[in-house]
Structure 1
Amino acid sequence: MAIEPSEATTPAAPPQPPAVDPGQPPAADKVAGSGRSARAYRHSRPVFDRQIRIHSEYARRLVSLRQFRPTMTALYGIDVILRIVATDEEADQFERVITQRLEALSEALVAERERLQLELERHDLLKARPRYTHPVDLKVQIASPHIGAYTHLILEVDQLMIAIDTLWLSGLLSSKARTEIGIRWRNQLGRAAQSFIELHRYAYDEAKRRGQSEAVDNAAREVVTATDEDPSADETDGDPDAE
């Protein structure tokens, strides 16, 4: 903390202009007389803008703003925060844990879809596909590999539910089995999302403890997802198994 000079302190020599470090980003212009930056410096980050459509109700629950945006923010924030406050070894360890969990979920989803595809093929339903009355369109900013992987998992769940609904509408799957499968996969992805959010909270608390919260806030200021519709508005309508 800077120490203010007392009245008895001898005035210091006029301050010299600070040296310019060419390796640092240019400082923002100052607002006249206010001492504040006219515009904070913002990093130019690479992102993929991906338009996706979610059809099934159980996958829609996974992209409600109550869960989807916090999960995307957490996955991006973990990458940003850990590289600021942790050692490379610690950050790599957390990254491996997240990657392994996402990969395990993906492998399980693929195995389930392949099993259902065999059922559809056996009943000559590979080209059959139900129409959904209220699909949701989303624009997702893929700002990190983990965000891309989690988005892909939601799309996998959606395709899984389309296969399940095809079998159900064709009278080949009971309503009970359809509901159980949907709830199981929604909960598995939901638990993974919650673990990422908790890890992000832990990393942020650690950044605050080390006096790095301002650097973290500046680095993670961008909103990493944008939605065209909020499916959480009618999240429990017509669904007897809603939590």
Structure 2
Amino acid sequence: MSAVAEQVANQVSAITEVTQPSNASEGQKKNAPQPKRKPEPKRKISTPTISSSVSLHTDVAQRVFRDTFQVASRSLFTIDVVTRALAKKNTAFDYSEVLNAVMKIIDDIQAKLSKDTAQIELVLASEKVISKTRYDHSVEQGYSISTPHANRFAVIISDLDNYLVLIDTAWLSGLIPSNAVADLKYGWRRSVLRATRQLTHIARDSMKKVNRSGDELAAEVREELGDDVEADQAILTDALANEDDQQSAEVA
């Protein structure tokens, strides 16, 4: 081989050695696994709501609203969504039975409140007390209505506020002793908390039935519900615990 041919052969060999790793790298790129696609975000349901508000004068009613309305409203919405889904899947499921249980809780507390209000109105009327108590820090409490029963619950708290105004008026007029007023306020606060807890239990039991009805139905219901109902249950638990602590302090 001439010197020129040998030189050319050496150059070709050198070029081949350089280009081979490059080809291997390209092959590796072609064979490299593609990154996984990010899961699509969950579709959010466009839920119908109505904005409303209620005027609350007494501190007790304001606290009751803060401690119970969010949980009660959420529980009522959960019950509505779940029972409709169960009735659609299983014709043997008695939707009216659950609805009647919910209505009884609300009707019972409304009936007792109406009765107690009528009694204190009679006391004030018999003593010819026509003025009402004024309050330094009344609030206009806004809320969203996601189910008709939620609005009924808000009305109950508003009616409770009106009842407590009458109680304070009777107390300031010397018609009711202070310890009786404290007991009445505490008892009514506990009654609303108890009703809220009952609604929460119904909502939780309904969700258990959904979870036993298959993954497809459970996923459909949870998609419509959105947030986790356990967060709402934690709010109620804290409210009950705070009330227990307050009562212990009052007794002491």
Name the structure where helix makes up a greater proportion of residues. Answer: 2
**Residues 1:129 and 2:132 are matched in the alignment:** yes
Contact 2:110/2:156, CA 8 A, preserved across alignment: yes
**Residues 1:187 and 2:195 are matched in the alignment:** no
Match for residue 220 of structure 1? 225
Q: Structure 1 residues 139 and 98, CA, compared in 2 at 3 Å: closer, same or farther?
A: same
Where in structure 2 are there 5+ consecutive unaligned residues?
A: 1-35, 229-238
**Residues 1:141 and 2:141 are matched in the alignment:** no
**Residues 1:50 and 2:52 are matched in the alignment:** yes
Q: Structure 1 residues 189 and 60, CA, compared in 2 at 3 Å: closer, same or farther?
A: same
TM-score (norm 2): 0.69
Match for residue 81 of structure 1? 82
1:13-24 aligned within 5 A: none
SS at match of 1:114: helix
What is the RMSD of the two structures over their aligned residues, measured on CA atoms? 2.7
SS at match of 2:142: strand
Shift of 1:34: 4.6
Shift of 1:200: 1.0
Match for residue 197 of structure 1? 200
Shift of 1:37: 4.6
Residues 21-74 of structure 1 show CA distances to partners (whole Å, capped at 9, x for unaligned) of: xxxxxxxxxxxx9575577252352x3311112221222231124x32122100
SS at match of 1:96: helix
Figure out how many residues of one structure are paired with residues of the other and give that number: 197
Where in structure 1 are there 5+ consecutive unaligned residues?
A: 1-32, 224-231
Shift of 1:105: 1.4
Match for residue 72 of structure 2? 71
Match for residue 113 of structure 1? 117
Residue 46 of structure 2 aligns to which amino acid in structure 1?
H
1:59 counterpart (47, 51, 61): 61
Q: Structure 1 residues 213 and 134, CA, compared in 2 at 3 Å: closer, same or farther?
A: farther
Residue 95 of structure 1 aligns to which amino acid in structure 2?
L
What CA distance in whole angstroms lies between the structure 1 residues aligned with 2:108 and 2:176?
26
Contact 2:55/2:138, CA 8 A, preserved across alignment: yes
1:158-197 aligned within 5 A: 158-197=161-200
Match for residue 32 of structure 2? none
Mean Cα deviation higher: 213-222 or 93-102: 213-222
Match for residue 98 of structure 2? 94
SS at match of 1:64: helix
Q: Structure 1 residues 241 and 196, CA, compared in 2 at 3 Å: closer, same or farther?
A: farther
Q: Structure 1 residues 42 and 168, CA, compared in 2 at 3 Å: closer, same or farther?
A: same
Report sequence identity in percent: 20
Residue 124 of structure 2 aligns to which amino acid in structure 1?
L
Shift of 1:147: 0.7
TM-score (norm 1): 0.71
What CA distance in whole angstroms lies between the structure 2 residues aligned with 1:138 and 1:201?
27
Match for residue 3 of structure 1? none
What CA distance in whole angstroms lies between the structure 1 residues aligned with 2:183 and 2:41?
55
Residues 144-167 of structure 1 show CA distances to partners (whole Å, capped at 9, x for unaligned) of: 121111111111111110000001
